[in-house]
Amino acid sequence: MSDRLTSAQLQKLVAEMQRLQTRQQDELDATQVQEILQELNLSPELLPDAMVQLRRREALEVQNCQRRWIIGGAIAAIVIVVSGSIAFLQHKQQVFNQIGVQADQVLLQSDPSRPVNTVSRPANLEYQTTLTQAPVGQTLSLQCDWLDPTGAVVKQNRYATKVITTDVWQTRCRYDLGVNATPGTWKVRLLRGDRELSTATFEVR
């Protein structure tokens, strides 16, 4: 042997030779197999068919093992995706739950600089609300209900804001109060889903 070996290479070579020797000891040649079959009173003619069946079962075991790995990986991926989605939705809901109201007021569209507590029919009304901790970079789906003195919702606005650019955000909804509107104490409220963000009352005469 002319090639020179390092100590590490020699160790690997010895380990490989030991593995081959162990494998060789474990394997039986055809003569040994025939002798074992005779001792067990089994017909050697069945050996080819038995070998075919054995190889099929070994191949099937490999396929089943691969299938289990694939199914396990798919389940793990689904769990990760679902868990991530749930965490994202929970975080998003927490962000929305932090939304507050800094100020709100009922205005006349003809004079939006002055809040009103009493309005005469007819009137074009606007409910202006200033939100705090609004979700920057997102839009908000809001609902605005106008209730008459009996508590009935006579007008409902459903709308989405523009993309919010600051955590203090102003939004508004409008209602045209008709000449036949019921006089008395009216209420307007702003909601996001089932959560009421703000409410205001005003007198109609």
Query: CB under 8 Å to 31, separation ≥6 — which residues?
Result: none
State yes or no: pLDDT of 205 exceeds 70: yes
What pLDDT is stored for residue 144 in this prediction? Answer: 97
Residue 101, pLDDT above cutoff 90: yes
Domains present along the chain, CATH in parentheses: 100-204 (2.60.40.1930)
Catalogue the E-assigned strands of 133-168.
141-147, 153-160
**Do 181 and 141 form a contact (C-beta atoms < 8 A)?**
no
| pLDDT above 90: residue 70 | no
End-to-end alpha carbon distance in the chain: 114
Instruction: Return the SS3 of 159.
Output: strand
Q: What tokens were used for 4? A: 């020179």
Q: How confident is the model at residue 88 (pLDDT cuts 50, 70, 90)?
A: low
Q: What is the mean pLDDT of residues 175-181?
A: 95
Q: Tell me if 202 sits within 8 A of 119, measured CB to CB.
A: yes
Output the pLDDT for position 195.
Answer: 92
Confidence (pLDDT) at 129: 96
Confidence (pLDDT) at 111? 86
The overall average pLDDT reported for the chain is 84
Residue 187: pLDDT above 80?
yes
3-state secondary structure of 201: strand
How far apart are the C-alpha atoms of 23 and 38, rounded to whole Å?
Answer: 24
Digit-coded pLDDT (tens) for 29-46: 667 666 766 776 766 666
For residue 128, the model assigns a pLDDT of: 96
pLDDT of 27 over the 60 cut: no
CA distance 186 to 202: 5
Query: What does the H/E/C string look like for 75-122?
Result: HHHHHHHHHHHHHHHHHHHHHHHCCEEEEEEEEECCEEEEECCEECCC
Please tell me the distance from the alpha carbon of residue 112 to that of residue 134, in angstroms, as a whole number: 23
pLDDT greater than 80 at residue 172: yes
Q: Of residues 27 and 60, which shows the higher confidence score?
A: 60
Determine phi and psi for 12, rounding to 5 degrees: -65, -40
Tell me, what's the pLDDT at 85? Answer: 73
Q: Which residue is associated with the tokens 């002055």?
A: 114
pLDDT in tens, 128-150: 999 999 999 999 999 999 999 99
pLDDT over 70, % of the chain: 80
